[in-house]
Amino acid sequence: EQQKLYLDQIVKSSQIKTEFMATMSHELRTPLNAIIGFTDLLLEGVYGDLNVEQIEFMDDIKSSAEHQFDMIQRILDISKIESGQVSLNIQRFSLNSTIEQIRSNLKPLYSNKEIKFKVKGLDEEVFIAADPIRFKEILINLISNAIKFTIDGKITLLFKEDYYNWIFRVRDTGIGIANKDFSLIFKEFNRVESTYVQSTPGTGLGLSLTKRLIELHGGEITFFSVLGVGTTFTFNLPKKLANKVK
């Protein structure tokens, strides 16, 4: 009886936390949307032409607002996953076309760097089962993270499968991670110590959310890294997800 009461209190506490996060995120996102919208109007010259310095200021304001908006959304997602309020919409879809969409979406992030982005293991059409929106979020988080910490070199997305799993590997030739920072990688609001990393905007939430989304699918994620050489993230999605296709 006491154990049941304790569990009920945990569930209630989790629900209160999620409701609070949802309310706060709404209250914060509304003014941020207004800031982003008004800066867009100013940048489009609706209220008159801006000089170069003013354009730079507006770009900085918009970038900061978008960064905060993204952070709020990720905090809310993590909170919802923790409280069991996120359900997956499992569908069967083409992996090839999904990855091409992701490549197109991320191209602006690496086109101005000396980075080559390659995809391996998809010589033929492959269909997988997962939540397509969350799957794209997982890969975008991992690949954009690789782009962020790779100055030049290669980023490779490798796909393979065995009897039980679809397996994905995102490998980069970036700055790598020191052994002492391995325990921080999937923790919220923790960022590894590095001069380059500290100068790079980020919330420390992307990889934590990615891990939770993979686990929500029944998969696992691991990583291997050598400082100054690069990092590889590997995750799997179980093929039994196909049984949940709606």
Residues 109 and 211 in one domain: yes
Which domain-ending residue is among 63, 82, 101? Answer: 82
Residues 114 and 220 in one domain: yes
Residues 74 and 175 in one domain: no
Residues 132 and 159 in one domain: yes
d(CA 246, CA 232): 33
- For residue 77, what are the domain limits? 2-82
Residues 55 and 115 in one domain: no
Q: How high is the pLDDT of residue 62?
A: 85
Q: How high is the pLDDT of residue 28?
A: 72
Which domain-ending residue is among 82, 116, 142? Answer: 82
3-state secondary structure of 175: coil
Residues 114 and 47 in one domain: no
CATH number at residue 48: 1.10.287
Residues 21 and 100 in one domain: no
Residues 73 and 101 in one domain: no
d(CA 214, CA 89): 14
- Each residue's pLDDT tens digit in the chain (246 positions)? 666 565 556 555 556 556 666 666 667 778 888 888 889 899 988 888 989 899 988 888 887 887 677 777 777 777 777 767 778 899 999 999 999 999 988 888 888 888 999 999 999 999 999 999 999 999 999 999 999 999 889 999 999 999 999 999 999 999 998 888 888 888 765 666 554 554 455 556 789 889 999 999 999 999 999 999 999 999 999 999 999 997
Q: How high is the pLDDT of residue 27?
A: 72
Q: How high is the pLDDT of residue 187?
A: 79
Residue type, 194: S
Number of domains in the chain: 2
**What Å distances lie between residue 123 and 47, 158, 159, 183, 228, CA to CA?**
51, 11, 10, 36, 31
Q: How high is the pLDDT of residue 167?
A: 98
